[in-house]
């Protein structure tokens, strides 16, 4: 059976040695200072969870909800007076029209 090159222990050992040797290369001394500078620029972090997130969403949606409520209230106020007359009109109009039974002479 053909053996796999990647499973050859000597090759694997050599490649692993090369891979781990990358760790030995140094970095600048001020890299930690640079991180802290960036962290301070970001500023304090706060805990997020369900309730803080929920609260934030509620406040974000508050103006839209307010406008929507106002618009609906105005709509209902305008509809309010004419609505009952319109409904009565529909009912009486339907009463005036002959039914199918009347048209066929089955009902008087």
Residue 38 is a binding residue for other proteins (CB under 8 A): yes
Q: In the numeric block, which tokens belong to residue 62?
A: 């508050």
Name the one range near other proteins by CB under 8 A: 45-53, 58-66, 85-93, 100-108. 45-53
Interacting positions 1-30 with other proteins (CB under 8 A): 2-6, 8, 10-12, 14-23, 25, 27-28
Cα→Cα distances 42→36, 60, 97, Å: 10, 22, 74
Q: In the numeric block, which tokens belong to residue 44?
A: 């304090």
Residues near 46 by Cβ (< 8 Å), separated by ≥ 6?
A: 52
Residue 61 is a binding residue for other proteins (CB under 8 A): no
Residue 69 is a binding residue for other proteins (CB under 8 A): no
Residue 57 is a binding residue for other proteins (CB under 8 A): no
């Amino acid at each position: 059976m053909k053996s796999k090159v990647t499973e050859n222990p000597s090759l694997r050992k050599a490649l692993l040695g090369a891979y781990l040797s990358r760790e030995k290369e140094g970095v600048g001394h001020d890299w930690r200072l640079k991180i802290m500078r960036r962290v301070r620029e970001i500023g304090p972090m706060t805990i997020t969870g369900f309730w803080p997130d929920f609260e934030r969403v509620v406040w974000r949606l508050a103006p839209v909800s307010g406008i929507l409520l106002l618009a609906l209230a105005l709509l209902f106020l305008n509809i309010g007076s004419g609505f009952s007359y319109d409904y009565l009109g529909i009912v009486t109009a339907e009463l005036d029209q002959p039914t199918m039974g009347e048209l066929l002479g089955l009902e008087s």
